[in-house]
Structure 1
């Protein structure tokens, strides 16, 4: 017996909300970790062995700042648009089904 997967193509507000929450959590945690690692590196302690680096301290900071800016100013608005579309689609389909 094959399950009906046709409903899986409908946008789900829960999925969009989960992605948005994950993006916000990654950005918040990443900014904190980056700040602490850079403070340690600048004070003379160097980078921890587990931290991926790109050349010098400055190049590493610019790289990670660019990644977090892209997440903040590109990925989060895209996730918000996805969430808005999913909520509108969900509301429209539940109103039609309720008639």
Structure 2
């Protein structure tokens, strides 16, 4: 015998094949129609020149704002570094 009962190996239960959830089988046409409508909307938005210009303009404004904030942050860090250097030099002679 290859697998005597005293080894403690149990029989493995194979689960039955899972059935698809009922909503997938009932609403397949609805899902297809919704996907088709969503795809058409995305295609329209991506090919519309006015929307492309609007998105590009918004992106440029956002990028400009980010760059301005980074410059402001750099200035604040430089000011803080200058203050630290000032106070270090102030107490150096003590």
TM-score (norm 2): 0.41
Higher helix share: 1
Task: Name the larger-Rg structure.
Answer: 2
